[in-house]
Amino acid sequence: MPFRRITIANEKQPNFVTLEQLNEDGTTSLYAVFFEAERDRSRKRRIVLRIQSAYVLDNGLTRRQEKAGKVGFATLLRATYLGKRIRG
């Protein structure tokens, strides 16, 4: 995750997406993993990443996904831990 490109899927709620291009046969396709990040309420100094959905984007990126803001993984974790919102 530290080297993945993370896109802000929805800035009103903590919803992010990371995309991968991979196929075993050498062809490429976009595989989207939508997730949220939040502080663990029961254990200190822990952040929970919860996968919401993951699927192949057969038609490529939507216009909204192409124009969405980006965030680094370390920035995402720091903001989540400090309770700050990520704006895109």
Task: Give yes or no for residue 42 having a pLDDT over 80.
Answer: yes
> Which residues are CB-contacts of 65 (< 8 A; sequence separation ≥ 6)?
7, 9, 17
For residue 65, being part of any structural domain is answered with: yes
For residue 15, being part of any structural domain is answered with: yes
| Amino acid (1-letter code) at residue 64 | R
Domain around 59: 6-82
For residue 22, being part of any structural domain is answered with: yes
For residue 53, being part of any structural domain is answered with: yes
For residue 87, being part of any structural domain is answered with: no
Number of structural domains, the chain? Answer: 1
For residue 19, being part of any structural domain is answered with: yes
Mean pLDDT within 49-60: 88
Mean pLDDT within 13-23: 75
Return mean pLDDT, the chain: 84
Task: Give yes or no for residue 47 having a pLDDT over 90.
Answer: yes
Task: Give yes or no for residue 88 having a pLDDT over 70.
Answer: no
